[in-house]
Chains A and B, each alone.
Chain A
């Protein structure tokens, strides 16, 4: 029976071990392969590239950007990206997504806690802004102190104690206090949600792997930007007001024309470096090729599902040769232009070229805010729009998601919105002149939606119909529309910046401490328990491997306290083995055979191990609940470590002991 159990144990162990190794491969590649330095270099190149662009356009640079420019701006190696370098970044990012994430304290970065500023919110919302209002709000602020949950109650009480009806300042004349408080409260709530969306939309401008923007409680947002080195830029980004614009989408034939022209320019650029005289010939060739393939292009752009399923006459490599730009585009089912996420950066690069910009003229490219997933690949939709905004978001007065009222809409959602008077007039003209075209709604440079203009909208009250879309989508749309006039001002409550060098130092000391810790414990165990000590040591190392694999697999974040937690579990996990070995020693005195002593020892010890570890686990759970970033990491590694230590002690050391006892059934060294 024991034999049979052991076979099961071996199988379980083998499966788990292969899983652990498999989970650790990306982590190994990301952190230990030689590619690491190169990727860093390419990333710096991308950064320098952006800064050069910014400088050209006369934008103001931050201190860090200036430094970077001074350092590399004149270094030809850093000025342009070599062929295929962007691909390498994309590949690396993919791996990175699967590997162990480092916390802010280890890779450096910025942690922000933002809180809605009620005081400012009320001042913004007030109809009249006078001394009396300021006095009342100041006294409310003093009374509420840190407890935001009673803020609105205080507002009501303070106003009524001075017998000022709230409607003097807020809402409509004659509105009851209750009603005004309710509407202010809901404005604050919506404000947080709007800000959340605005920040999410904006923050990936950093190109950091895993920004995290979360709402905490009723009036707080927590932003974590790992790896961000430029604090100034990050703070600007968070503090800046949202910018909403309406722009017309280019018509189809214009889009085709621009695409072709870009291809020509790109081909020209390539050949330019070889020999000038061939340009004409190439152009001719390309024009011919172009006329030959227009039909296929059209099918590719407008009917095909994805590139894999379309039968294109040109092979991929020919396509890239002849249409360096269009080769990157894929036609979606609805005629949309899609780009694989790894090619996004390439397109951005092409669009930055002076000659391409010259071609685009009054047009510009914008990306859709969210990718679509087709066949498990991420695609981004690309739009060509007029670069002049017809209208901006400051004109929007109100926007709300609601269930479509018309009988034809079959329960779809719509977002009615209201513009102020001047905005309404402009909107009437724009919609009147462009019936049938699409109007792009762009927030902070990213397109959220491009609805068709069905008719002239005369009175500044428009409706965006979202056929068959979900409630969330409608709500998001309303949020975006209102983001133009961000209602809730935020203040930074907490800001932590960890420089990258400190992170590197922390990793170094963490690793040193782990290695020294493991070695000492192993030496100790082997001296104390001899052979069994070696078994325990093997269990210990596997425990570490399993813990790190679990962290990688669930994409948990490793922090310095997390490393400390792991080191601590090294010390504590030996406990399970100590309990077992001590128990076996005791049993040996009573039982006749080694085998029965081992069996009894394991069985008895497991009960204790379980009871004792559960309590540490309980402490771990509360710690996880209470803690912020790094502390959570500590709690998590501690809990995972405890779980694996039970497993390795009970399953693995057991297997090794049995293996040994079966061969030398007369003795065991504990």
Chain B
């Protein structure tokens, strides 16, 4: 790929802004209509059991068994994909969300229901979690704190290394990435039963780091070109910088996307939410470092220019 390619990214920044804002709005509106994010039991508290039955069982019958034992509001899903274990004929996940203190009771009831119906020999508990509501509350709290602190530290670092306006531009880009990713996840959640788990938060923070990586490469080039191409119009110079780094941005995104996709395909159900989030995030992050971060710097620049002109006049 030649470096002489000139695509007018900066010129398309208004179009990009419209696109970004509408996607963000759709996501936010969707979340609002769903009355908030769809958190999993790690955040909401509850009980989850993943059991493997050595013989095939009837899911409807299992559902009846559980509800007959006075357990309300449970979700039952059969679990089968390329990563399912061949030792089990049927694998199920039983989930009860509750923010009461009675998680222990639910756990006991479900365990007993299964034992009575199928016998302890018939299945193996592959995974079980019972989480009290307090833990969940704290997790939400610390997740928000984690995202906030990493954004703040990044702002400080970029301000020191570049300028405050670059820092702000980076934060705008990152917030953009996180909001869009969460929005898409919520819509996916509505369609395919995706939930916000701890892994999703981890993936979001990784996206923050990753997307910034791309953004900074462009920023460094802008800083270099400010000296090298002195006298050139700022908008144009930014566009040249984006173009010069474009091959690198795309190549790195491609290799990262490649591995994330592999992770999505082969990584298994346990980290499916992590890999899905990364998959969305890498795409959005690449987009934002081209179409969001630098245009924000330009916008800031234009604003200060106008102010100066006003002062002069």
Interface residues of A (CB under 8 A from B): 63, 67, 105, 113, 115, 146, 231, 492-499, 501-502, 505-506, 509-510, 512-513, 516-517, 520-521, 524-525, 528, 560-561, 564-565, 567-568, 570-572, 574-575, 578-579, 582, 585-586, 607-608, 611-623, 625-628, 630-631, 634-635, 638
Contacts and interface: CB of A to CB of B under 8 A. Distances in A.
Contacts of A611: 161, 216, 220
Interface in B183-241: 198-199, 201-202, 205-206, 208-210, 212-214, 216-217, 220-221
Interface of B: 3, 50, 52, 83, 85, 87, 104, 120-121, 124-135, 137-138, 142-143, 145-147, 149-150, 153-154, 157-158, 161, 198-199, 201-202, 205-206, 208-210, 212-214, 216-217, 220-221, 244-245, 247-248, 251-252, 254-260, 262-263, 265-268, 270-271, 274-275, 278
A501 B145 contact: no
A619 B258 CA distance: 22
| Overall SS of chain A's interface | helix
Given A510-B267, A524-B255, A564-B271, A635 B129 contact: no
Nearest to B150: A622
A520 B259 contact: yes
| Overall SS of chain B's interface | helix
B258 A568 contact: no
B132 A494 contact: yes
Nearest to A634: B202
Contacts of B125: 231, 497, 499
Given A608-B217, A626-B145, A626-B146, A572 B256 contact: yes
A608 B252 CA distance: 14
Contacts, number: 225
Contacts of B251: 528, 574, 578, 582
10 contacts: A115-B134, A231-B125, A502-B126, A505-B83, A524-B254, A560-B267, A564-B263, A608-B220, A618-B153, A622-B153
A465 B149 CA distance: 50
Contact of A612 (B142, B146, B202, B216): B216
A64 to B, nearest CB: 9
A567 B205 contact: no
Given A561-B202, A615-B212, A493 B134 contact: yes
Given A493-B135, A631-B202, 11 more contacts: A499-B125, A502-B127, A513-B266, A560-B270, A572-B256, A582-B248, A586-B244, A611-B216, A622-B153, A627-B146, A630-B199
A572 B217 CA distance: 13
Contact of A571 (B85, B87, B244, B258): B258
Contacts of A63: 120
Contact of A499 (B121, B127, B255): B127
Given A499-B124, A505-B83, A521 B255 contact: yes
B169 to A, nearest CB: 13
B216 A623 contact: no
A501 B270 CA distance: 13
Contacts of A502: 50, 85, 126-127, 270
